[in-house]
Amino acid sequence: MQDGSGRIVVQNLTKNFGAVAAVQNLSFQVEPGSVTGFLGPNGAGKTTTLRMLLGLVRPTAGFATINGQPFSGLGNPGRVVGAVLEAQGFHPKRSAINHLRVYCSAMGIQDRRAEEVLGLVGLAATATRDVGGFSLGMKQRLALATALLGDPQVLVLDEPANGLDPEGIAWLRQFLRSFAASGRTVLISSHLLAEVEQTIDQVVIISRGQTMYYGMLDDLRRSQQSRVIVQPADVNALVTALQEGGISGIQPTGDGKVAVTGATVQQVGDVAAKAGVALYGVQEEKADLEQLFFRLTSGQYAAPGIVHYGAPPPQGFGPPPGYQQSGYHQQPNYNQPSGYHQPVQGYQQPPGYQQPPSGYQPGYDPSPYQAPQAPEPTKEQGGNS
Ligand SMILES: Nc1ncnc2c1ncn2[C@@H]1O[C@H](COP(=O)(O)OP(=O)(O)O)[C@@H](O)[C@H]1O
Ligand SMILES: [Mg+2]
């Protein structure tokens, strides 16, 4: 029996396609009431993981459950999990509403729900238009509408922001926050941290099928510090002077430079001047989440303005514990069609939705996760439907 918790558990999940280790020993948990971002560059293993979660690919090892059950044990899965995977096939000559009605009939749901979900995703005005003429973003919305038909407790979305314009991304953020705030579970993948950064509470970052970070996004943010990179005439003399000046977090980079955390450019310059050490260059390197994401997922990636140094990063800078260097490199683009109708604000559940039982404790380790506060209502969308 499924436990009704709305919890997703991925445990030591592994998938090999021949010699390709697509997913390696992946473990994480997604709690109801929260949004988890599943992040990694293209080819990292996100879709394969989600396909295993949805019973579409058989794991080489490990398991994934929803409500304590593998997908195949969910009875009426469409009412438990709404899922959107990549490359949705829509019949181009079918209207959006008819597409949804086909699914209503297959799932034993009243046709009325098709109109409801179109309204929820902002496609009510295009209900009778053929899907063949839809932009990528509109198809994303229609796929989401399809996933919502069964009023599921859990949403699993693969790259849902792909093809959405900035307004669409803002709408999706609010929609998912509101969906999670109603006590439901959201797992979304993305190859771009910036796309989902404001949407997610928890983050699982993978690269080449391996976990690079798993934890709260806020903790990841807090782990970041900027550093000063300085090129002195004499590395040893500068290191000694900095130490004597009470500055810790000094890390020679092995290429004649020194990385200093916890000090400003001016402080480093003053110490060098006092010690009589000439400086050939001083540069502040600001660490932001996006940089960290690239560092975590692609050791060889170098964006303009990001300097890579030979030595491992000092404490407090760069990836948090558990970081594994990867040689993977990808920086894809996506296009942004525009022109949507304003959708309904937030998720509105149909009558009769039952909150999952509270206080449920599963048989595995309780997670330190704390449910986020209900979101502030935002005004950025204008608010009409
Ligand atoms: N059916 C398959 N057969 C062989 N290799 C696959 C298959 N599906 C995915 N892969 C490989 O597994 C790796 C992970 O792919 P995928 O899960 O699609 O990554 P992501 O969704 O993060 O872009 C890639 O190297 C991909 O080529
Ligand atoms: Mg994918």
Measured CA to CA, the distance from residue 16 to residue 52 in angstroms comes to 12
Q: Could you give phi then psi for residue 340, rounded to 5 degrees?
A: -100, 160
User: Same domain for 139 and 266?
Assistant: no
What's the 46 CA to ligand 2 centre distance in angstroms? 5
- Are the CB atoms for 7 and 68 separated by under 8 Å? yes
What's the 35 CA to ligand 1 centre distance in angstroms? 24
The reply to whether 136 falls in a domain is: yes
Q: Tell me which of 79 and 351 has the higher pLDDT.
A: 79
Which parts of the chain are beta strand (E)?
8-17, 20-30, 34-39, 61-66, 81-84, 154-157, 185-190, 202-207, 210-216, 227-232, 250-252, 258-261, 279-285
Q: Which atom of ligand 1 is nearest to the CA of 158?
A: 21
User: Same domain for 167 and 268?
Assistant: no
User: Same domain for 200 and 246?
Assistant: no
Ligand 1 atom 18: residue of nearest CA: 47
What percentage of the chain carries pLDDT values higher than 70? 76
Q: Is residue 48 in contact with ligand 1, taking CB distance under 6 Å? A: yes
What's the 264 CA to ligand 2 centre distance in angstroms? 41
Measured CA to CA, the distance from residue 33 to residue 200 in angstroms comes to 11
Ligand 1 atom 4: residue of nearest CA: 17
Q: What is the mean pLDDT of the chain?
A: 80
Ligand 1 atom 27: residue of nearest CA: 43
User: Same domain for 228 and 217?
Assistant: no
The reply to whether 260 falls in a domain is: yes
- Are the CB atoms for 36 and 28 separated by under 8 Å? yes
pLDDT of residue 373: 39
Ligand 1 atom 13: residue of nearest CA: 22
The reply to whether 350 falls in a domain is: no
Q: What is the CATH number of the domain that holds 14?
A: 3.40.50.300
Ligand 1 atom 1: residue of nearest CA: 17
Q: Is residue 206 in contact with ligand 1, taking CB distance under 6 Å? A: no
| DSSP category for residue 69 | B
Under 8 Å CB-to-CB from 263, ≥6 apart: which residues? 228, 242, 247, 249
Edge-to-edge strand order for the sheet containing 202-207? 81-84, 154-157, 185-190, 34-39, 202-207, 210-216
Q: Is the pTM of this model over 0.85?
A: no
- Are the CB atoms for 317 and 259 separated by under 8 Å? yes
pLDDT of residue 207: 92
Q: Is residue 17 in contact with ligand 1, taking CB distance under 6 Å? A: yes
Q: Tell me which of 292 and 271 has the higher pLDDT.
A: 271
Q: Which atom of ligand 1 is nearest to the CA of 42?
A: 23
Ligand 1 atom 6: residue of nearest CA: 17
What's the 257 CA to ligand 2 centre distance in angstroms? 39
How many folded domains does the chain comprise? 2
Lowest mean pLDDT among 4-18, 127-141, 283-297, 360-374: 360-374
Q: Is residue 43 in contact with ligand 1, taking CB distance under 6 Å? A: yes
Report the pLDDT averaged over residues 341-364.
49
What's the 20 CA to ligand 1 centre distance in angstroms? 8
User: Same domain for 131 and 259?
Assistant: no
Does position 150 have pLDDT exceeding 60, yes or no?
A: yes
The reply to whether 361 falls in a domain is: no
Does position 301 have pLDDT exceeding 70, yes or no?
A: no
Please enumerate, as own/partner, the contacts of 96-100 that have beta carbons within 8 Å and a separation of 24 or more.
96/123, 96/126, 96/127, 96/128, 96/129, 96/131, 96/134, 96/142, 96/145, 97/127, 97/128, 99/131, 99/142, 99/146, 100/142, 100/145, 100/146, 100/149
Of the residues 221, 238, 257, the one at which a domain ends? 221
Least Cα distance to 100 among 120, 80, 81, 85 occurs for 120
Q: Is residue 41 in contact with ligand 1, taking CB distance under 6 Å? A: no
Of the residues 271, 297, 323, the one at which a domain ends? 297
Q: Which atom of ligand 1 is nearest to the CA of 45?
A: 17
> How many CA within 13 A on the CB side of residue 302?
6
Does position 339 have pLDDT exceeding 60, yes or no?
A: no
Of the residues 280, 297, 314, the one at which a domain ends? 297
Reported as a pLDDT band with limits 50, 70 and 90, residue 302 is very low
Q: Is residue 42 in contact with ligand 1, taking CB distance under 6 Å? A: yes
What's the 84 CA to ligand 2 centre distance in angstroms? 11
User: Same domain for 29 and 175?
Assistant: yes
Lowest mean pLDDT among 121-130, 208-217, 312-321: 312-321
The reply to whether 235 falls in a domain is: yes
User: Same domain for 212 and 251?
Assistant: no
Does position 353 have pLDDT exceeding 80, yes or no?
A: no
pLDDT of residue 311: 32
Measured CA to CA, the distance from residue 326 to residue 274 in angstroms comes to 41
pLDDT of residue 349: 62
What's the 48 CA to ligand 1 centre distance in angstroms? 6
Q: Could you give phi then psi for residue 113, rounded to 5 degrees?
A: -65, -30
User: Same domain for 135 and 234?
Assistant: no
Structural domain range at position 245:
224-297
Reported as a pLDDT band with limits 50, 70 and 90, residue 78 is confident
Does position 96 have pLDDT exceeding 90, yes or no?
A: yes
